[in-house]
Amino acid sequence: MTNKNPFENHFENLNENLIENQIENQIENQNENLNENLNENEKEKTIDEEKRITENKEKEKPEEEDIQYTFSKRKLTLVGNDLETIPEDLIKKFGAKTKELEMSHNAVVSMEQFSLFPSLKTLILDNNCVTSKSPIPRMKKLETLWVNKNQIEDLEEFVNSLKKLPRLNYLSMLGNPACPSVFSGKDPGEYTKYRKFVLSQLRGLTYLDSTPVTHQEKRSAFRYYKELKKAKQESGQLDDDSENERSDENQSDESDEEIEKFLNRSSKKNRFLRQYNL
């Protein structure tokens, strides 16, 4: 067996120490890399979670860039966006400027938000989800309202809510359950009675549906309005003079009894007319 000199032993020890140090360093580096990877994974999970939360919020509340709209000459058009309400950023941007708002083919139920358009004169809500009970705010400047093809069933209730619109002169309600179809082939008098009632309640109208209001219609509606007013004031107990006045005034083609039948057919909740037996 060959004896190693001291120098050889020394170098061997050095080599062993170097190897051990290298191994330890490699292990440390591996641990550090592992920790870094774990931290990165945690960060990625956190980022992914935050991103998911943000995306959900964005889905819940549509932003301006997700909506198809145009704004020109003070007219805001938001057709076919499936909107129940207008996003706040659009209201802030255009609310004070808008005079005409076109929102056909959406999912609007309540009209409360339109009070945030103080200059609004024309509101088009065809093919939405407006009902007889849809909240309607007071809009002092609104002149034209189209609610064709919605879900309005109770004529009296809806028309009463429109009295909050003092300047309304053009109303269109075609295609609603409360509005008889002119083209249905049924009794054409139904639509005439419908017009008479609406005009008796909203006497500022100059246009109803697709037809201008005639002078004869205004006279007939005014007589009918007076009858409704009397019934309300006297709780259905008219004196003899009032009865005579009533028979003299009602020389129109349709009797009030016929109009009551029409209103009862178009709505189950015409409480006022049933109460006073008009």
- State the Cα–Cα distance between residues 247 and 215, nearest whole angstrom: 21
Architecture of the domain made up of 64-275: Alpha-Beta Horseshoe (3.80)
Contact indicator for 135, 250 with CB cutoff of 8 Å: no
Cβ neighbour number for residue 213 with a 10 Å cutoff: 20
Paired sense of beta strands 75-77 and 70-72, if any: antiparallel
Give the model's pLDDT for residue 188: 72
Instruction: Encode the chain (278 residues) as per-residue pLDDT tens digits.
Output: 555 555 555 556 555 665 566 666 666 766 666 666 656 666 565 666 666 655 554 544 555 558 999 999 999 999 999 999 999 999 999 999 999 999 999 999 999 999 999 999 999 999 999 999 999 999 999 999 999 999 999 999 999 999 999 999 999 999 999 999 876 556 778 898 899 999 999 999 999 999 999 999 999 988 888 887 787 787 554 444 444 344 334 333 445 565 555 555 545 434 444 443 33
**pTM reported for the whole predicted model:** 0.65
Q: What is the mean pLDDT of the chain?
A: 78
Give the model's pLDDT for residue 261: 56
Domain ranges of the chain: 1-60, 64-275
Give the model's pLDDT for residue 18: 58
Give the model's pLDDT for residue 227: 81
Q: Amino acid letter at 165?
A: L
Tokens of residue 6, six digits? 């001291």
Give the model's pLDDT for residue 131: 98
Interval 85-104: pLDDT, tens: 999 999 999 999 999 999 99
